[in-house]
Chain A
Amino acid sequence: MPFSLERRKHEFILEVLNIASKQISGYEEITPDVLTGKYFMTGNVAAAEGAIAAGCRYFAGYPITPSSEIAERLSERLPQVNGIFLQMEDELASIVSVLGASWGGVKSMTATSGPGFSLMQETIGLAAMTETPCVIINVQRGGPSTGLPTLVGQGDIMQTRWGSHGDYEIIALSPNSPQECFNLTIECFNLSERYRVPVVLLMDESVGHMTERVIIPPKSKIKTVDRPKPKVPPERYLPYKPGRNLVPPMACASEGYFIHITGLTHDERGYPMIEADVQEKLVKRLCDKILKNADKIIKYEEHNLEDSDIVLVSFGITSRSAKGAVRLAREKGINVGLLRLITIWPFPEKQIRSLAKQVDTLIVCEINNKQLYYEVERCAAGNAEVHHVGNPGGRVPTPYEILDKIEGLKKK
């Protein structure tokens, strides 16, 4: 009995939807994808708008605090721009369907947080191996495991770089304001398409839930990049023969190129070849693709570095506290500067190495138990002292905390 009632309710809903859709007359203009204007919006919503402005037309996700708002906003906006929104049964299905959609020729992304990001690692490895462009937004929260779902953390830095097994390179960007969430999401899509690599937007919960002014520029001012396309006919096309930039042109499904894509180690034809020399050639190129182009990828911001003895190295929400600490310290006469990293991976090694030779002390400010600290220490190579200010998750270090550390170091 109840089952047939369910069936009738379902049919009724379909009928209503059918009537609703019949009332729509064909509109020639498409609904706007770039909502040009000045807004007061959260970081999550800004990231969603950035994705649509960049050309993303497929989102598959799973709800997880604090990134659910991205999915909610995209569920409303993507159908408006003829895009597809799917809420999948878990994060594994989400990220794999993002890869499928990317091979279908559509820019795609997903959004998650720590626990979901851990689930996605195997597929991020597959994306890196098959050179699939895709964007993953990781709104970091306190970890490990279920941790602090509603409080900030920055503890996924190393996992972003080393999460999947094997050797590969990945790009990760970190915004510190909702405006940057918008801008950097577009940058993420451009980088992933240009270099055919999965790109992670490492937001943190504070930036994702912070409401600030966001200015969305007109569509003509937004630069988008598409994946390199093959210029040769199908008979002469090799899916993994690198072009310029060490990036092979990408022919997607149903373009007549009859590609074969596999996660196994493969040669230039895309066929699996279980041999050590093929592995060496392939993995070396996958890593060089990012490392050799690092100068074009790396972005950072410098504040007051010229005359500083102590430099703070920070990113994300903590960089705002660090900026406050720089101002407070300078009022007290201590020469402090700030290096705000926008690109976390590939790590700006050259910048840190040269900075370490110029200054005495580097203080890494992050909300984790020393993750970026070890990278900075490695690059400093003993030329400067490296210290750490932070906590393993839950609150943003205040400018006064950082100032205390600076003063403590100055006294020595």
Chain B
Amino acid sequence: MKQFPKFINEEMLRREIWEFHVIADRCKGCGYCIEFCPEQILEASKEYNAKGYHPPKVKDGLPPDACSGCGFCALICPEFAIFIRKKET
């Protein structure tokens, strides 16, 4: 979480909330999204997909605006399995 000067009211700042989506059955467990996320918010889930791989998920306990919306995970995923969507607030 960034530290802002005290005269900026944090609630007044608009935060973009980005949602992380994955098509589980396309994941082949390469680990690129987990390794190369700039914010390091992804990890392998404990669940299995149809092929036996662990699809990625956002780590628990993170604030909703942890994802910066850079989209690198979607770009680097070799399986066309990941996309991010901005949540309309």
Is chain B in direct contact with chain A in the complex (CB below 8 A)? no
Listed in ascending order, the chain B residues whose CB lies under 8 Å from chain A are: none
Listed in ascending order, the chain A residues whose CB lies under 8 Å from chain B are: none
